[in-house]
Amino acid sequence: MPKMKTHSGAKKRFKLTKNGKVKRASGKRNHFMMRKSAKTKRKMRQGAYVDATNAKAIKLLMPYK
């Protein structure tokens, strides 16, 4: 059986924690940052966990992580 390939888009966007949760960064940070308040930009620096409904699909994209 050949090895499965890791999805390169997923490996750039997600990290798996030791407990098996999937970490992600917050989105909407590329442009129009001058319109966003300082409070919003500060909250965007924080990471978050992927929702459980999507985590299973992301783990399938990264079989060896």
- The reported pTM is 0.81
Mean pLDDT of all residues in 54-65 = 94
Domain range summary for the chain, segments of one domain joined by +: 8-61
Q: Domain 8-61 falls in which CATH fold?
A: Factor Xa Inhibitor (4.10.410)
**Is-contact 58 13, C-beta < 8 A?**
no
Tell me the torsion sign for CA atoms 61, 65, 16, 43: negative
Q: What is the pLDDT of residues 9-48, one digit of tens each?
A: 999 999 999 999 999 999 999 999 999 999 999 999 999 9
pLDDT of the residue at 65: 80
pLDDT of the residue at 20: 93
pLDDT of the residue at 1: 84
pLDDT of the residue at 30: 93
